[in-house]
């Protein structure tokens, strides 16, 4: 289990670095590469930070974790872009770089945390034990 967590963290860190580097390129490379870039870099911006943060929060309800991960990724993108804009330091590659660093740090912290205890009880979304 602990190895799995470390492997996932390493994947997220690698994803962050790839996205940060790729976002700095200007040139178009052709249909396949451009669509791969959309998947890797775009997917990172819309899911990466949230995924790292949710692992740190140890949410075991998958639907809740999915929703929170999306929300964290969106707010990170909006707030980071706003910060770049309002501090007169506008640089989209720097914004992506900052988000990548934050994500990598969250992923590294997530790897160090012990895994969440297995939640015994009814399936996700079912009324909790003892609920009226």
Partner 1 sequence: MNRGRILCAALLALAVPGGFWVARGSGDGDVGPWGLIGAMPPVYWLCLLVPAAVFLRELTRDRDPWLLSGALAAQALLLHGAAAAAEALPRFATAWLHAGFTNQILVTGELTPALDARFSWPGFFSAAAVFSSAVGVEPVALLEWAPTVFVLAYLPPLALLARSLSGSVPVMWTTLWIFLVANWIGQDYFAPQSLALLMFLIAVSVVCRVFLEPPGGSPQRRPAGPLWAGAGRLRQLAGRWTTTPPPVHPVPGIRQRVALLAFLVLLLAALSMTHQLTPFMLAATLAVFALAGVLRPRLLPVIALTVAVGWVSFGAAAFWTGHLRTMFGGADESIGSGVEDRLTGSEIHQWVLYVRISFALLVWVLAALGAAHALRRRRLSLPAAALAFTPFSLLAVQSYGGEGVLRVYLFSLPGMSLLAAGLIVELIGSRQPAVPARRRRVAAAYACTVAILPVFFVARYGNESFERVTAGEVQAVQALYAAAPPGSLLVSVTPNLPWRYQGLAGYSYLSVQSDELALDRAAPIIALMSQHSQGAFLIITRGQTVYAEESYDLPKDFSGRLEREISASGRFRTVHRNDEGVVYRLVSQSEADDVSG
Where in 23-62 is the site for partner 1 (CB under 8 A)? 23, 25-28, 34, 37-38, 41-42, 45, 57-61
State the Cα–Cα distance between residues 106 and 51, nearest whole angstrom.
9
Instruction: Single out the residue of 110, 90, 114 nearest to residue 102, CA to CA.
Output: 110
What phi and psi, each to the nearest 5 degrees, are found at residue 30? 115, 165
Where in 79-98 is the site for partner 1 (CB under 8 A)? 79-82, 84-85, 88, 90-93, 95-96
63-68: which pairs have CB atoms within 8 A and are 24 or more residues apart? 63/124, 63/125
Would you tell me which residues interact with partner 1 (CB under 8 A)?
19, 22-23, 25-28, 34, 37-38, 41-42, 45, 57-61, 63-64, 66-68, 70-72, 74-75, 77-82, 84-85, 88, 90-93, 95-96, 119, 121-129, 131-132
């Amino acid at each position: 289990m602990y190895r799995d967590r470390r492997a996932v963290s390493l994947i997220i860190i690698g994803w962050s670095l790839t996205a940060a580097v790729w976002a700095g390129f200007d040139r178009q490379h052709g249909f396949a590469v451009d669509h791969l870039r959309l998947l890797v870099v775009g997917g990172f911006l819309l899911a990466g930070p949230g995924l790292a943060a949710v692992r740190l929060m140890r949410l075991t309800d998958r639907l809740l974790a999915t929703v929170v991960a999306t929300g964290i990724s969106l707010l990170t993108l909006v707030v980071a872009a706003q910060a770049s804009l309002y501090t007169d330091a506008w640089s989209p590659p720097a914004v992506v770089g900052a988000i990548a660093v934050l994500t990598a740090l969250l992923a590294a912290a997530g790897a160090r945390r012990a895994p969440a205890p297995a939640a015994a009880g009814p399936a996700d979304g079912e009324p909790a034990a003892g609920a009226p």
